[in-house]
Amino acid sequence: MTSEFRRNATSALQQDDVQTNLNRVVHKLREHRQAAWIAADEWRQLRRHCQAIRENAVRKLPQLLEQLETNLIRNGIQVHWAETAEQANHVVLSIMQRHDAKLIIKGKSMVSEEIALNHFLMQHGIQALETDLGEFIIQLAGEKPAHIIVPALHKNRRQIAELLHRHFPGYAYTEDVDELAQLARKILRDHFQFARVGLTGVNFMIAESGTLCLVENEGNGRMCSTIPPVHIAVTGIEKVVEKLSDIPPLLSILTRSATGQPITTYFNMISAPRQPGEKDGPREVHVVLLDNGRSTSYRDRELAATLRCIRCAACINHCPVYQHIGGHAYGTVIPGPIGSILEPQQRGLDRYGELTQASTLCGACTEVCPVGIPIADILNRLRWDATRQDADCSTPGAGSGYIPAQTALWKLWAWQCTHPGAYRLSTRLATRLRVVLPGYFDAWTNVRTMPKLAKTTLHERLKALGIDHE
């Protein structure tokens, strides 16, 4: 039976325009990243440093969260905790209701995707408007982001032009990228001015100062966090770092890994709502700290490395599988290699276990990860968790991939490989009989010929050549 993932992937592989658009954008992103590192030494040193920062932050997570909370509250920022997506959604809803707000303007936030906030608010009569250009396009198309930093990478300018024209026929049709951007500016500007509540994600939180840091190029995140009277930031609990001096290296490695930029246009550090004497800024700032399965990863030393992620998307951009199937095929909020280790840990191997197989374990992801997450090793580990029958594993859905017949085959294989006499006999027989591998290998022969077994094995040939065996 073909899985949903395989059906999705096949469908993406059959769409020529998706293939062309994906291929173009991932290669551009790789070139940009490559160009951002003039000295390989500098990259390695900075990566070691950033890995240490994130590793320490994850290890001290509970203390840092408590420190962060204390400092946020002292600064006048309201802190909300949510164990689940549902709790987080209700926090946002109750703030909206308190302010009698029917519209929320949103800066880019993958956590809001994770909790399916837009859908939830719509059910309660509240419109959520995406304002990041890519997210705006995706929302108009009624789709989900195909990438965590370039959500509309699977669409080309013509498709985007047609989409905008269909939704806003009052504006002249254009395929010019500058004009399309100006169009979005005009359409969204009034909303920035009049919305009562703005929502953003968070890139980093500084525990020692109680500060929220937002990274962006467009200015819509600043709009959402500066103009409306209420700003809500939703974030995973793992985004906290210890101190201000942790921020410059992380910012540098984040933007360069993501798009090759030495820095984004805006780096916005919010430590308080509007203070007495200040003329603008939101009167209320809320932070929603979301767990939603993160603390489960925290339980396992090897898997906890997943929590170091700073969502730069370098692993996604460099993944040869993602490059071919795009983000939608994964069926998850976070696609690509990081999604394939993160989503099974947080949502269960029973649901997303197959994603651990959506990799050749080529290691491109591990190679580019700016915080040294051993993504390929964790994929390998989760494949184990999926087949495990012991009780020592805390990964949700552990053992759900256990298939007795498959296990029996592996046991047989292991028996043969641990009994050299049996191994030699069976390989010799196989080569003599020129065993044809079973039809199960249609998957292989669709685009390939079937390799033939040799006439004699290497064991035999080297014995015949008189090569010493000890």
Partner 1 sequence: MSEKTATSKPDTVYLFGTCLIDLLYPQAGVATVKLLQHAGVRIIYPQAQTCCGQPAWNSGYREQALAVARAQLELFPKPIPIIVPSASCARMMKFQYARLFAGQPDEAEARKVASRVYELSGFLVDELNIQLHDSGAPLRVAVHTSCSARREMAVANKIPELLKHLHNVDAVEPQHAEECCGFGGTFAIKQPEISAAMVLEKCRHICATGAQQLVSQDYGCLMNIGSALEKQGVALAHQHIAEFLWERIQDRDP
Partner 2 sequence: MNNARDNILKRLHDYRISEEIPADSDYASHHDWNTEERIKRFSDRMKAVHAEILNATADSWLNELASICSRKNLRNLLLSPHSQWGKQIAAQAERFPPLKYFSQPFEAWKNELFTDVDAAFTGAYAGIADTGTLIIQPSPDEPRSWSLVPPVHIAILEQHRICTTFTEAVARGSIESPLPSNLLLISGPSKSTDIEQTLAYGIHGPQALIVILV
Residue 376 contacts residue 365 (beta carbons within 8 Å): yes
Binding site partner of 188, from partner 1, partner 2, none, Cβ cut-off 5-8 A by kind: partner 2
Q: Of residues 35, 73, 122, 177, which one binds partner 2 by CB under 8 A?
A: 177
Give the separation between CA 445 and CA 156, rounded to whole angstroms. 34
Binding site partner of 447, from partner 1, partner 2, none, Cβ cut-off 5-8 A by kind: partner 1
Give the separation between CA 52 and CA 236, rounded to whole angstroms. 20
Q: Of residues 44, 181, 320, 425, which one binds partner 1 by CB under 8 A?
A: 320
Q: Which is nearer to partner 1, 173 or 410 (CB)?
A: 410
Distance of CA 245 to the CA centre of its chain: 26
387 sits near partner 1 (criterion: CB under 8 A): yes
Stretch that binds partner 1, among 46-54, 113-121, 145-153, 427-435 (CB under 8 A): 427-435
Find, among 387, 377, 390, 380, the residue nearest to 408 by Cα: 387
Give the separation between CA 53 and CA 71, rounded to whole angstroms. 20
Site string for partner 2, 219-248 (x = CB under 8 A): xx-xx--xx---------x------xx-xx
Residue 324 contacts residue 16 (beta carbons within 8 Å): no
35 sits near partner 1 (criterion: CB under 8 A): no
Residue 145 contacts residue 201 (beta carbons within 8 Å): no
459 sits near partner 2 (criterion: CB under 8 A): no
Q: Which is nearer to partner 2, 223 or 376 (CB)?
A: 223
19 sits near partner 2 (criterion: CB under 8 A): no
The two tokens of residue 46 are 């900075």
SS3 200: strand
Residue 235 contacts residue 243 (beta carbons within 8 Å): no
Binding site partner of 325, from partner 1, partner 2, none, Cβ cut-off 5-8 A by kind: partner 1
Q: Which is nearer to partner 2, 255 or 359 (CB)?
A: 255
Site string for partner 1, 393-422 (x = CB under 8 A): --------x-----x--xx-xx-xxx-x--
Q: Of residues 35, 73, 122, 269, which one binds partner 2 by CB under 8 A?
A: 269
Give the separation between CA 337 and CA 315, rounded to whole angstroms. 6
Give the separation between CA 348 and CA 345, rounded to whole angstroms. 6
280 sits near partner 2 (criterion: CB under 8 A): yes
Give the separation between CA 224 and CA 222, rounded to whole angstroms. 5
323 sits near partner 2 (criterion: CB under 8 A): no
Stretch that binds partner 2, among 6-14, 41-49, 347-355, 450-458 (CB under 8 A): 41-49
Binding site partner of 450, from partner 1, partner 2, none, Cβ cut-off 5-8 A by kind: partner 1
Count CA atoms closer than 13 A to 421's CA, side-chain side: 0
Binding site partner of 279, from partner 2, partner 1, none, Cβ cut-off 5-8 A by kind: partner 2
270 sits near partner 2 (criterion: CB under 8 A): yes
171 sits near partner 2 (criterion: CB under 8 A): no
Query: DSSP state, 197?
Result: E
59-118: contacts with partner 2 (CB under 8 A): 59, 61-62, 65-66, 69, 75, 80-83, 87, 91
463 sits near partner 1 (criterion: CB under 8 A): yes
Q: What is the DSSP string of 406-437?
A: HHHHHHHHHHHHT-HHHHHHHHHHHHHHTPPP
CA angle 286, 291, 293 (to 5 degrees): 160
